Amino acid sequence: MKIAVVGTGYVGLVTGTCFAEVGIDVTCIDIDQKKIDNLHKGILPIYEPGLEEMVSRNVEKGRLHFSTNLAEAITDCDVAFIAVGTPPGEDGSADLKYVLAVARGIGESMNNYCVIVTKSTVPVGTAAKVRTELESALAARGANIEFDVASNPEFLKEGAAIDDFLKPDRIVVGISSARAEEVMSRLYKPFLLNGHPIIFMDIPSAEMTKYAANSMLATKISFMNDVANLCEIMGADVNMVRRGIGSDARIGTKFIYPGIGYGGSCFPKDVKALIKTAQENGYDMQVLRAVEGVNENQKSVLFNKVNAHFGGDLRGLKIAVWGLSFKPKTDDMREAPSLVIIEKLLAAGCTVTAYDPVAMPEAQHSLGDSITYAKDEFDALLDADALLVVTEWPEFRVPNFKVMSRLMKQQVIFDGRNIYEPAEMKEMGFVYHCIGIKTDH
Ligand code: NAD
């Protein structure tokens, strides 16, 4: 089989590389010439554990190619994936201009039957728009070429993307013809070993599945943050409550960790887009509006604790921040809660020194020189009045507290991810604040 993957970001590059890994001939396309030039040199545009090695292995084997030339890549293709960005437009709806531009480009150059698959997260009805775009591009050149559209939303998690793609919980494919179903079955067959299921459905249901999945996960997070905030007021310990409810199989242990709000490139925009889709169709997603509201408030919770601890005057304080990316094992800074927290600290007159194992170059795009970037987690602590743990990178979990204590001017920790034990922190001489547990200082 020969496939093209258009858009070489977090989703496109992982998708293309994983298909190449099972022997398929893949060309990854991007409009960003620099990205493609760098990929030719083995430099990846994103950080994703294990990806660099997998890319170079497949390039060496001659199965994985990079190009800016869509027309060339689409020639003789069996399947073309559209994996470009769908950022939120001004009104919160998903902006489809990149998806539709790619569809047009494919229609302008395809030369044989092909399944055109939206892998980008797109609202219900998008595949129909993709079809119209393809038809009009084909008609403009007087070409009579058969094609199918399909919807194949991606569920990979940044930081574990390769494993998620190679061993998926499920693969969802929306199709409207038996021919497309047969092509997609053949393509995904290598990933279905060991019982990983492929679920075929109609296209609108597939498009909706992705939004429903992300919205459900965002709901779990906001619900737990709401519970955590109440625990703190009432003197309950959210860690205990989490374990208590998570042992119920109907609830489950995952995604019920309180924190400082969800971020990233998907949850915020997908929740917004689903609310907007509903509004446009005369329906009010009440739960999701509340989910968004709780999340906005939650991004301020850690700052509010800092402010309360220091009596409302933060001027001149030196604050250390551990973690900048929206979650561990990625360099993705899109909608990261760290950005909101740092903005508030700076506005209140603090100086901020941050350390993140991989996201500092990416963070610099939005934060510039407004903060200092430390060479390691301990360097960030030098003379600090407080430490804020913002992203739970594994290396922050068991640090040398004695060294930390010596480096810091004041031994105060605000833990936005509840990665330390309050009792142990107290024993070590730290004033410790976390989420959903009223600590006794
Ligand atoms: P990204 O911004 O990392 O990558 C998108 C890429 O598309 C960029 O490299 C951009 O240059 C390229 N592009 C834009 N227009 C193009 C065009 N006309 N031709 C060729 N390339 C073009 O985005 P991403 O994070 O990979 O997300 C892509 C889609 O997948 C989005 O709809 C997103 O919601 C969805 N998604 C993302 C994740 C995730 O974890 N990042 C997970 C599941 C689904």
Spell out the domains of the chain, with CATH numbers in brackets: 2-200 (3.40.50.720), 238-433 (3.40.50.720)
pTM for the whole structure = 0.95
Whether the predicted pLDDT of 244 surpasses 80: yes
67 bridge partner residues = 29
Mean pLDDT of the chain, nearest integer:
97
Whether the predicted pLDDT of 440 surpasses 80: no
Gap between the Cα atoms of 173 and 293, Å rounded: 32
ipTM over 0.85: yes
Asked if 174 and 201 count as a contact pair (C-beta separation under 8 A), the reply is yes
Asked if 79 and 180 count as a contact pair (C-beta separation under 8 A), the reply is no
Tell me what pLDDT residue 438 has. 87
Cite the beta strand spans of 60-161 per DSSP E: 64-67, 79-82, 114-118, 147-151
Atom nearest to 11 CA in ligand 1: 26
Amino acid at 231: C
Ligand 1 pocket member 268 (CB < 6 A): no
Share of the chain above pLDDT 90, in %: 97
Gap between the Cα atoms of 3 and 183, Å rounded: 11
Gap between the Cα atoms of 67 and 134, Å rounded: 21
388 bridge partner residues = 321, 414
Dist. CA 358 → ligand 1 center (Å): 20
Q: How confident is the model at residue 384 (pLDDT cuts 50, 70, 90)?
A: very high
Using DSSP's 3-state secondary structure scheme, residue 152 falls into coil
Catalytic residue among 77, 114, 231, 266: 266
Q: Which residue's alpha carbon is at the smallest distance from atom 41 of ligand 1?
A: 10
Dist. CA 7 → ligand 1 center (Å): 6
Residue from 5, 6, 11 to probe ligand 1 pocket by mutation (most atoms less than 8 Å from CB): 11
Report DSSP state, residue 192.
Answer: -
CA-closest candidate to residue 274, choices 94, 106, 137: 94
Whether the predicted pLDDT of 292 surpasses 70: yes
Between strands 351-355 and 372-373, the pairing is parallel
Dist. CA 354 → ligand 1 center (Å): 28
Residue from 8, 10, 120 to probe ligand 1 pocket by mutation (most atoms less than 8 Å from CB): 10
11 bridge partner residues = none
Q: Which two tokens stand for residue 291?
A: 């989910």
Share of the chain above pLDDT 70, in %: 100
**pLDDT per position as a tens digit, 320-333:** 999 999 999 999 99
Tell me what pLDDT residue 285 has. 98
**pLDDT per position as a tens digit, 7-58:** 999 999 999 999 999 999 999 999 999 999 999 999 999 999 999 999 999 9
Atom nearest to 98 CA in ligand 1: 15
Alpha helix (H) residue ranges in 194-353: 203-234, 238-246, 267-280, 286-309, 337-347
Atom nearest to 161 CA in ligand 1: 40
Atom nearest to 8 CA in ligand 1: 9
∠281-284-290 over CA atoms, to 5°? 145
- Burial grade of 180 (CB within 10 A; 0-12, 13-18, 19 or more): buried
Tell me what pLDDT residue 441 has. 60
Residue from 13, 18, 29, 30 to probe ligand 1 pocket by mutation (most atoms less than 8 Å from CB): 30
Tell me what pLDDT residue 158 has. 94
**pLDDT per position as a tens digit, 169-210:** 999 999 999 999 999 999 999 999 888 899 999 999 999 999
First to last CA, the chain: 63
**pLDDT per position as a tens digit, 71-122:** 999 999 999 999 999 999 889 899 999 999 999 999 999 999 999 999 999 9
Tell me what pLDDT residue 368 has. 97
Ligand 1 pocket member 210 (CB < 6 A): no
Ligand 1 pocket member 102 (CB < 6 A): yes
Gap between the Cα atoms of 187 and 1, Å rounded: 8
Dist. CA 276 → ligand 1 center (Å): 21
Q: Hey, CA dihedral for 369, 370, 371, 372, is it positive or negative?
A: positive
Q: Please compute the mean of the pLDDT values over residues 341-359 and round it to a whole number.
A: 98
Our answer to whether residue 350 is catalytic in this structure is no
Q: Please compute the mean of the pLDDT values over residues 424-428 and round it to a whole number.
A: 95
Asked if 117 and 93 count as a contact pair (C-beta separation under 8 A), the reply is no
Tell me what pLDDT residue 194 has. 86
Q: Which residue's alpha carbon is at the smallest distance from atom 11 of ligand 1?
A: 32
Ligand 1 pocket member 187 (CB < 6 A): no
Contacts for 414 with CB less than 8 Å, ≥ 6 apart: 302, 305, 306, 309, 386, 387, 388, 389, 433, 434
